[in-house]
Amino acid sequence: MAPFSRKILSIIQPRFFISQVDMPRGFRFLAFALLCLLPFQAAWGEYGQVAKSPMPRIEGEMHAGIVWRIATDYRGRYLASVGGDKTLRIWSLRDGRLLKVLRVPIGQGAEGKLFAVAVSPDGAKVAVGGLTGWAWEQKISIYLFDFKSGEITRRIPNLPGVVSHLAFSRSGNYLAAVTAKESELRVYRAADGALLARDKSYGDYVNWVDFDPSGRLVTASEDGFLRLYDASYRLSAKKDLGKGKPYSAQFSPDGRRILVGFRNLARIMVFSGKDLKALQVPDTTGVTRNLRAVAWSRDGRSILAAGSHWSKGMRAVRRWSERGVGAFVDFPASKSTITHILALPNGRVAYASADPAVGLLDAQGFPVFHNGRATAAFQRIGQRLLISPDATQVQFGYDPGGGSPAHFSVRHLQLQQGKGGGGGETKASGLSGNQKNQAKGQKGWLAPLTQHPKVEIKGLDKGKVVHVNGRELELKRNEVVHSVAIAPNGRFFLLGSSFYLRLYARNGREMWKYAAPGPTWGVNLSQDGKLAVAAFGDGTIRWFRIGHQKELLAFFPHYDKKRWVVWTPQKYFAASPGAEELIGWHVNRGRGRAAYFHPSSSFGKTYNRPDVIKKLLR
């Protein structure tokens, strides 16, 4: 091997793989090939602190987390969607087929999660934002993709907080962005990313921004105000909505009216597009939960709203005729909260939901397609996240609350449907009295301990304020606790929250935390307290070594209840037949370039190592 190649390998070797002693034959060639995938012209300096090592990512042909926003071109040819799985997905609005997956630079934890997307009216450009770039710049970036090539053509840096919504002007020449933390409105020239205007006078998160045909803007903020800006982006009117927390706001096609949906109210309202004067409150008979997402039909003759509203056992889109004063009809659409709706040509309605799912209804409200989850839903799994005493087996449910149960053995690499028969290889005779009580009648399986004489935890029912032995735990704003597991000896405990998996000593001192890939819905601890198991919102179950603060293993069961894949941080994996494509390696190429994604199958059998996986938890 040439001296230059040896030098490069000496740089990348510790980052890409584990020790050379454990490297399979052919490593050097593969490592060099991987490096060649990263264009040298990007230059190491361009990366700054952007992660250079390949990162394992799930790819189930659907978002692996909540779909937060969708957008389309004016003609309604394709749909762009973004979510917590850090991907931008492009769908055909003809048949729902996935056309392409585009990827921004990402990092560990929440870095790279996408919460906003906008498509230029001609469909040529797609803008995305979210928690993008904070890990290496302590500022946020917006990325503009070219639709045809899939490449990032522009990066707009230096935003102060997470981007919550994006909108192109009707001409496509301007891009408006609003942010959550350090809340503000910004308007950019799309051609070169020049900042044209900004407003920092918000008292809380800004949820929404929309352009009218003349270039005026309206925003909706958690501070309770609706704001109207003229075509020069000067504030022209401001409306206090009292107890209402406006989530979305959209101009009618002629700009004369503004439709507003609320995060916390079971109603919507229509305001004047001239001065924000309240005009009407459409009939919300039968609505008991919020209608957060709103839209005007393309002809302006009807209005639509959706959110947590139920109809016929599903979350529904409600449509009113005659600009909201006429009769209404409900169209059942999704099993989970609808986060965004779009009115399309010919009366069609596209929607996104927290399932995760994206879908399309025709003008009569019948489904054209519904692309649902590929991931298990671990919400409310709680006491149903069971493990064998040595944690080599785990029992879970594909559906919320532990529904559709299944169990997986790491030692045998077997997935079986239904409840396990006995907890596996390690006998349960050594269980403490507390653990026997937590086993829920399934011999040999351990449920998480939530009570212990040495650990008094209060406030879990509220989730946001938690006290342990009289000491209040410090959590982030909007961080909600979902799960807890106490060590059998009572010396420490785990908390799973919306942002982290946290380990605490029994006196409330934090020992370590892990940036979760999604809400930590369930946690558990092995009988000896050395291994932790956690179920996350991205549909994975992961094992951790308590003493070393390290992730050991990740398991992804596909929602088809047949395919599965399990992998280590060192890139070794094992999979059921045909499931190799469910996992791949994400490779950043710098701050302003689209990332590469390489399916595990593209590297042959080098890292397909069931023998390594089987021995890992011993």
Q: Which band of pLDDT confidence, cut at 50, 70 and 90, is reported for residue 463?
A: low
Beta strands in 326-392 (DSSP E): 328-334, 338-343, 349-353, 357-361, 367-371, 386-387
Supply φ then ψ for residue 296, to 5 degrees.
Answer: -95, 145
Do the Cβ atoms of 72 and 159 come closer than 8 Å?
Answer: no
pLDDT tens readout for residues 15-29:
222 222 233 333 333
Task: Tell me how far CA of residue 34 lies from CA of 39, 58, 77, 347, 597, in angstroms.
Answer: 11, 19, 36, 48, 12
Determine the average pLDDT of the residues in 37-66: 67
Report the pLDDT value the prediction gives residue 428, as an integer from 0 to 100.
37
User: Rounded to the nearest 5 degrees, what angle is found at the Cα of 303, between the Cα atoms of 301 and 304?
Assistant: 145
Among 508, 491, 502, CA closest to 457 = 508
pLDDT tens readout for residues 346-388:
999 999 999 999 999 999 999 999 999 999 999 999 999 999 9
| Angstrom distance (rounded) from CA 235 to CA 200 | 12
In this structure, how many other beta carbons lie within 10 angstroms of the beta carbon of residue 413?
16
- The tokens describing 83, both together, are 């979510």
User: DSSP for 49-84?
Assistant: T---S-EEEE-SSS-SS-EEEEEE-TT--EEEEEET
pLDDT tens readout for residues 589-605:
999 999 999 988 777 67
pLDDT tens readout for residues 181-223:
899 999 999 999 999 999 999 999 999 999 999 999 999 999 9
Share of the chain above pLDDT 90, in %: 77
Among 390, 394, 385, CA closest to 521 = 385
Tracing tokens 């890992």 back to the chain, one arrives at: 616
| Angstrom distance (rounded) from CA 554 to CA 111 | 19
Determine the average pLDDT of the residues in 577-588: 92
Task: Tell me how far CA of residue 131 lies from CA of 1, 106, 266, 330, 368, in angstroms.
Answer: 42, 9, 29, 34, 32
Buried b (16+ CB within 10 A) or exposed e, 222-255: bbbbbbbbeeebeebbebebeebbbbbbbbbbeb
Ramachandran sector of residue 276 (left: φ over 0; alpha: ψ -120 to 50; beta: rest): left
Q: Which helix (H) or strand (E) holds 556?
A: strand 550-557
Kindly report whether the global pTM for this prediction surpasses the value 0.95.
Answer: no
| Angstrom distance (rounded) from CA 105 to CA 594 | 7
| Angstrom distance (rounded) from CA 385 to CA 593 | 40
Report the pLDDT value the prediction gives residue 442, as an integer from 0 to 100.
66
User: Rounded to the nearest 5 degrees, what angle is found at the Cα of 292, between the Cα atoms of 283 and 245?
Assistant: 100
User: Rounded to the nearest 5 degrees, what angle is found at the Cα of 440, between the Cα atoms of 402 and 442?
Assistant: 90
